[in-house]
Amino acid sequence: MSAINLPGIWAIYRAEMARTRRTVLQSVATPVLTTVLYFIVFGTAIGSRMHQVGGVNYGAFIVPGLIMLALLTQGISNASIGIYFPKFTRTIFEVLSAPISGIEVVVAYVGAAATKAVMIGLIILVTATFFVPVRIMHPGWMLAFLVLTALTFSLFGFLIGIWANSFEQLAIVPSLIVTPLTFLGGAFYSIDMLPQPWRTVSLFNPVVYLVSGFRWSFYGVGDVSLAVSLIFVLGFMALCLAVLSWMFRTGYRLKP
Amino acid sequence: MSPVLSISAATKTYKTGHTALHAIDLAVEKGEIFALLGPNGAGKTTLISIICGLVSLTSGRITVAGHDIVTGYRAARGMIGLVPQEISLDIFATVENTVQFSRGLFGKTPAPAYIEQLLRDLSLWEKRGARVNELSGGMKRRVMIAKALSHEPDILFLDEPTAGVDVNLRRDMWDLVRRLRQKGVTVILTTHYLEEAEEMADRVGVIDRGRLVLVEETAALMRKMGKRRLSITMQQKLTEIPPALAAWPLRLEADGERLVYEFDANAPETGMPHLLRELAAAGIDYRDLETGRSSLEDIFVGLVENGV
């Protein structure tokens, strides 16, 4: 047997993508509909009073934030369900008994979750172009942020999926932590628009850095510098990887 | 020949402090059918789970064809197929997909011809396109077996394979085990049905409270521990064993209606004719005679009760 179990990675990846295909309506139609609703509510209602933010049309300004919102929630939910569901139905025994390493399992599950998140991000981007004039100044950076964010939050979701012992726990982190952080993370406004002390408080919100870097790749403006955004994404990814490697080493909640 | 599975001083202590296995030593030869017997909670499933990588080993060493299950887990697990006690399947996948998934997971490239034969052998070929949740319980169990065999393992673990299984599937399963043995596959099973172990297994291991109390060839065990019994149904109930027969190791059963004589199955002299002559001489009438051989179950219960 080769050093890397490629057929094993591929088998998990394909099975996860098949799950997406089975739930295509929920997977794809929901984010598109949500995005359209955001445009109607925020773009039209607020945009009619507030035309520009930092020289960018308000409708276009919120596009990167909306995509980030989708990447975070999709990455987390896909990856957490991806690993939690086999735990719940106990089909995980097969993965644990297979000649496949922890890293390979992560690559497969997280890769599939991130693929789906990126696809949805791109679908939202395309949908947005029907509503507002979107332009992308740095397409390379845009894609890099898209993929990095999807991967990082899929990793985070994978951790939640391993940690969770119930469907309630599975839902707690995304709904009680991630959604508020995203809404307060400058997806729909520039943090410059906030009064003090909230502007300073916002700098402790990790999502600010993600949205800022991503928005910079579109319009060349951001709340914080590109380097800071990048360091944050990579740092969070490294943290998730460290926790994961500890989980696999100790068999945490997978292997008694 | 070196054993295909070698277990030395395997010990498992859970985080709760409960020690499920106490220094188990066992070697299983290639091509053998080995039955693990033991009451519920004895540690059978824990032992299998450790070998297959589902539970971590606290101390000791286990090798599969020389590959350590911890340091050489890839090679070791690649040789193993596991059919767990519980049915757990991705209910949305089709039969064929889930079996192909298992093969891929175990690092094997697709082999359509092999998979087709496997599904045919398990009477699943007609159902290959069906979703798992459309199948009956018996069919689901067949799918579990197909998944475990999808990567052509050298060792197959069957954890309580026939618990709650209908006669057809049970028969098919044993046919399959025989065919696998012919191909040189080692089969290790746990069971509550002792007659199955008696019929199928080359050797039997008895686990009780985390200790392997006995490993013996099934036939030798039957010879060594097997007893025969003669059961004599009386014409009239007896209140006590007649004094004339006091020299015999007899006991009364069924309210004195039956007189039971147990003796070593391998003794050259059974003593039966002699006993019957003495009964007649004592003027005791009987209306029926029955002889039987003690089953593995009797032996097993004896072993566990005596806390060997």
A-chain CB neighbours of B78 within 8 Å are 1, 99
**What value does the mean pLDDT take over residues A27-41?**
80
> Positive or negative, the Cα torsion across B100, B105, B110, B115?
negative
Between A109 and B276, the higher pLDDT residue? A109
Of the partner residues B56, B74, B108, the one whose CB lies closest to the CB of residue A251: B56
CA angle at residue B294 from B237 to B48, to 5 degrees? 140
CA-nearest residue to B108 within chain A is: A7
**What value does the mean pLDDT take over residues B255-272?**
80
pLDDT at A2 over 70: no
Residue B294: predicted pLDDT: 67
- % of chain A residues with pLDDT over 70: 97
Between A40 and B49, the higher pLDDT residue? B49
Task: Give A105-156 pLDDT, tens digit per residue.
Answer: 999 999 999 999 999 999 889 888 888 888 899 999 999 999 999 999 999 9
Q: With an 8 Å Cβ cutoff, are B106 and A98 in contact?
A: yes
Residue B95: predicted pLDDT: 96
Residue B307: predicted pLDDT: 55
At residue A157 the predicted structure's pLDDT band, cuts being 50, 70 and 90, is very high
d(CA A128, CA A35): 8
Judge contact between B92 and B131, C-beta under 8 A: yes
Task: Give A198-249 pLDDT, tens digit per residue.
Answer: 888 888 888 888 888 898 999 888 778 888 888 988 998 999 999 999 998 8
Of the partner residues A10, A99, A251, the one whose CB lies closest to the CB of residue B77: A99
Task: Give B62-81 pLDDT, tens digit per residue.
Answer: 999 999 999 999 999 999 99
Q: Quick one: how far is CA A246 from the chain centroid?
A: 23
Most confident of the following: A168-182, B119-133, B259-273:
B119-133
DSSP one-letter string for chain A: --SS-HHHHHHHHHHHHHHHHHTHIIIIIHHHHHHHHHIIIIIIIITTT--EETTEEHHHHHHHHHHHHHHHHHHHHHHHHHHHHHHHHTTHHHHHHSS--HHHHHHHHHHHHHHHHHHHHHHHHHHHHTTS----S-HHHHHHHHHHHHHHHHHHHHHHHHH-SSHHHHHHIIIIIIHHHHHTTTSSS-GGGSPTTHHHHHTT-HHHHHHHHHHHHHHS--SS-HHHHHHHHHHHHHHHHHHHHHHHHHTTTT--
The ipTM (two decimal places) reads 0.87
A-chain CB neighbours of B17 within 8 Å are none
Residue B33: predicted pLDDT: 94
Q: Quick one: how far is CA B2 from the chain centroid?
A: 23
3-state helix/strand/coil string of B28-97? ECCCCEEEEECCCCCCHHHHHHHHHCCCCCCEEEEEECCEECCCCHHHHHHCEEEECCCCCCCCCCEHHH
**What value does the mean pLDDT take over residues B191-213?**
85
A-chain CB neighbours of B43 within 8 Å are none
Residue B228: predicted pLDDT: 79
- State the CB neighbour count (10 A cutoff) for residue A113: 31
Write down the CATH number for the domain with range B5-222.
3.40.50.300
Most confident of the following: A1-15, A157-171, B225-239:
A157-171
For residue B284 the two structure tokens come to 């005791």
pLDDT at A1 over 50: no
How large is the greatest C-alpha to C-alpha distance in chain A, in angstroms?
A: 64
At residue A251 the predicted structure's pLDDT band, cuts being 50, 70 and 90, is confident
Residue B6: predicted pLDDT: 96
Average pLDDT, whole number, for chain A? 87
A-chain CB neighbours of B92 within 8 Å are 19, 22
CA-nearest residue to A251 within chain B is: B56
At residue B203 the predicted structure's pLDDT band, cuts being 50, 70 and 90, is very high
Residue B296: predicted pLDDT: 67
**What value does the mean pLDDT take over residues A67-81?**
90
CA-nearest residue to A254 within chain B is: B54
Residue B108: predicted pLDDT: 95
Q: With an 8 Å Cβ cutoff, are B93 and A18 in contact?
A: yes
pLDDT at B37 over 90: no
Pairing of strands B211-217, B203-208: antiparallel
Between A200 and B51, the higher pLDDT residue? B51
pLDDT at B133 over 80: yes
**What value does the mean pLDDT take over residues B117-121?**
93
Could you tell me which residues of chain B have a Cβ less than 8 Å from any Cβ in chain A? 14-15, 52-56, 73-78, 80, 82, 84, 86, 88-93, 97, 100-109, 147
Superfamily of the domain at B226-298: YebC, transcriptional regulation domain (3.30.70.980)
**What value does the mean pLDDT take over residues A12-36?**
83
Interacting residues of B81 by C-beta distance below 8 A, sequence separation 6+:
B148, B149, B150, B151, B153, B155, B156, B157
pLDDT at B1 over 80: no
pLDDT at B308 over 50: no
Residue A86: predicted pLDDT: 92
B-chain CB neighbours of A91 within 8 Å are 88-90
Name the residue ranges covered by the structural domains of chain B: 5-222, 226-298
Question: What Cα–Cα distance (Å) separates residue A77 from each residue in A11, A197, B269?
Answer: 21, 32, 75
91-120 of A, contacting B, C-beta below 8 A: 91, 93-101
Residue A47: predicted pLDDT: 66
**What value does the mean pLDDT take over residues B184-201?**
84
Q: With an 8 Å Cβ cutoff, are B88 and A95 in contact?
A: no
